[in-house]
Structure formats: C-alpha cells, structure tokens
Amino acid sequence: MIVKGKIASIDKEYMEYIDRPFTDYVFDVEEFWKNESGFGVEGNEIIVTQDDNSTIEFAKHPLKEVGEEYVLFLALVNFNVKNQAK
C-alpha cells in the first residue's frame, strides 16, 4: 500500500521482548496511491508502527513528527504478540 498524508498523533509507545521499542502513530491518509494488499481501510485514519520511541531512537532512523507530511510504502504485518505497555 502506498499512501500520502500526515501524522495526526502518537497513539502509544511500548516495548516488546523487554528491549525492542516501538511507536504507533495515527496517520491521516490524504491520498491512496496504491492498495493491492486487499487490506480495507475505513475512513482516512490508519495506525502506523515505527521501530523506535521517544526513549530509544535508532541512529539515522529519526522518529516521525506529528503534523509532518509523509509518503509511506506500507506492508500489513499480522502477528500475535502481546505488547507490553510502557
């Protein structure tokens, strides 16, 4: 899926397996450029996950900024891992 839009807010930050940081963002989709995944989207908001957070940030991989516009190339990842809230 390829979408264009803006980061509306941070939904949550959390750790998996004690030491793997993640941030979930609410992304307001302005344009769908491609969606061959078969993944349906209701409305214009999707949750996008990035592999770092405000506590642990990877070098050369800065956190996305709320209010900034992005073009995202997305893949649906579906796995059953219980998130550990931070």
The DSSP-derived string for 7-70 is EEEEEEEEEETTTEEEEEEEEEEEEEEE--S-----TTEEEEEES--SSS--TT-PPP-TT-EE
Average pLDDT rounded to a whole number, residues 66-75: 89
Residue 36, domain member (yes or no) = yes
Instruction: Enter the pTM of the model.
Output: 0.69
> What's residue 51's pLDDT?
77
pLDDT grade for 4, boundaries at 50, 70 and 90: very high
The total number of structural domains in the chain stands at 1
Domain residues for the domain of 43 are 2-77
Residue 22, domain member (yes or no) = yes
Residue 51, domain member (yes or no) = yes
Residue 83, domain member (yes or no) = no
Query: How many Å apart are CA 1 and CA 37, to the nearest integer?
Result: 6
Query: How many Å apart are CA 78 and CA 81, to the nearest integer?
Result: 9
